[in-house]
């Protein structure tokens, strides 16, 4: 089987195209890898917090338990601990514990014993109180814990 010069040129061009595509993919891959490495290593800006992402936790400030009247003439004795954000200290927030207790009294005092004792009632109260504390102490308090919860 004899090959002509034209067939030899086509085969040579075909192989050349495959090599050039292969080289192109290799070059693109190297550029992407180098660009990604530069982005990861070269970025000096601190990462912005993602909305809804958990905030790193700091110390916990335990408040004295309080007893309050509920909306239906029952009583609630509740102990609350504030989860502070990382970098906060209990010394900074201790003078403001009256604000925290006032917020708790205002929010929980409007509930009934039936609502608090119902399934999910305590969890809903905890969620609402946590959001209220985050508004009263923006960037300082990231959550709460009930250390005691007695309805009478």
The terminus-to-terminus CA distance of the chain in angstroms comes to 104
pLDDT on residue 54? 63
Q: Model confidence over 140-152: pLDDT tens digits? A: 999 999 999 999 9
Q: Model confidence over 11-61: pLDDT tens digits? A: 555 554 555 677 777 777 777 766 665 555 544 444 445 455 566 788 999
Compute the residue count for the chain.
152
Q: Model confidence over 80-131: pLDDT tens digits? A: 999 999 988 888 888 888 999 999 999 999 999 899 999 998 999 999 999 9
Distances (CA, A) of 122 to 51, 62, 91, 138, 139: 26, 19, 29, 23, 24
* Local structure of residue 96 (DSSP, 8 states): G
Residue with tokens 């309080």: 66
């Amino acid at each position: 089987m004899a090959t002509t010069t034209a067939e030899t040129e086509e085969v040579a061009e075909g192989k050349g195209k495959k090599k050039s595509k292969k080289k192109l993919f290799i070059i693109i891959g190297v550029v992407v890898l180098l660009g990604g490495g530069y982005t990861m290593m070269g970025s000096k800006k601190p990462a912005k917090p993602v909305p809804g992402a958990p905030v790193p936790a700091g110390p916990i400030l335990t408040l004295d338990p309080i007893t309050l009247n509920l909306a239906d003439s029952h009583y609630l004795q509740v102990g609350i601990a504030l989860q502070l954000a990382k970098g906060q200290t209990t010394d900074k927030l201790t003078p403001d514990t009256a604000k925290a207790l006032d917020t708790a009294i205002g929010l929980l005092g409007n509930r009934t014993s039936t609502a608090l004792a119902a399934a999910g009632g305590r969890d809903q109260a905890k969620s609402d109180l946590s959001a209220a504390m985050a508004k009263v102490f923006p960037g300082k308090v990231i959550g709460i814990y009930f250390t005691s919860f007695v309805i009478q």
